[in-house]
Chain A
């Protein structure tokens, strides 16, 4: 595969959101995330010297496209 054909790697949250959206809407897909006591330190900002909030997530999240207008 040439460089021109290679997909770009997602580097920002907006890019990740758009990519997720394209996957959902392009295939009528449904994405389910199952978290089992996932621990993550969430930065307050993408700038320098952020503070971090401690998050622990447990449960299920399903995202799909809506049939509503």
Chain B
């Protein structure tokens, strides 16, 4: 278990407190080359500094993992945005959503208060069509 000094500061226990702590801190950069198997779904994670691409094998895998994710999408989006990172979710290489700093939410998403989450309709359509053909 990692032990890290946290003196001279109240313990951070909530996402809101974490976001406050991260405000005005420098952004992070990530290099990643990972293969992750989640409940039988093979996911590749590739990091390019401020962009982390998460590639899934199918739309059904995306829906299953999104439904069972341990972190709410909006919370993850806010956290990623606060540290200058963007996660691009892809299905077989086609971007279907961006979450975090570089996401450009639609007016509808913005009005719905979804935070920094951007859906990519062309990618979603391509993923759906190729699934039917495949």
Interface positions of A (Cβ within 8 A of B): 7-12, 14-25, 35, 42-45, 51, 53-66, 68
Distance of A42 from chain B, by nearest CB (Å): 6
| Cβ contacts B5-45/A at 8 Å (1 or 0 each) | 11100011111011001100111111111111111100001
B68 at the interface (CB under 8 A from A): yes
Indicate whether A18 sits within 8 Å of B18 (C-beta atoms), given known contacts A8-B7, A53-B38, A64-B29: yes
Residues of A within 8 Å of B32, CB to CB, are 59-62
Residues B30 and A55 in contact, CB atoms below 8 Å apart: no
Residues A65 and B4 in contact, CB atoms below 8 Å apart: no
B49 at the interface (CB under 8 A from A): yes
Residues of B within 8 Å of A42, CB to CB, are 70
Cβ-neighbour of B34 out of A17, A43, A53, A61 (below 8 A): A61
Residues of B within 8 Å of A17, CB to CB, are 18
Residues of A within 8 Å of B40, CB to CB, are 54
List 24 A–B pairs whose Cβ atoms lie within 8 Å, in order of A's numbering: A7-B3, A7-B6, A10-B1, A10-B6, A11-B11, A12-B11, A14-B21, A15-B4, A16-B4, A43-B70, A51-B68, A55-B36, A55-B37, A56-B36, A57-B35, A59-B34, A59-B35, A59-B45, A62-B30, A62-B32, A63-B28, A64-B29, A65-B26, A68-B84
Please measure, in the bound complex, the distance between the C-alpha atom of A64 and the C-alpha atom of B85, giving whole angstroms.
Answer: 12
Residues B27 and A7 in contact, CB atoms below 8 Å apart: no
B50 at the interface (CB under 8 A from A): yes
Residues A8 and B6 in contact, CB atoms below 8 Å apart: yes
Cβ-neighbour of A14 out of B17, B29, B49, B83 (below 8 A): B17
Please measure, in the bound complex, the distance between the C-alpha atom of A16 and the C-alpha atom of B34, giving whole angstroms.
Answer: 22
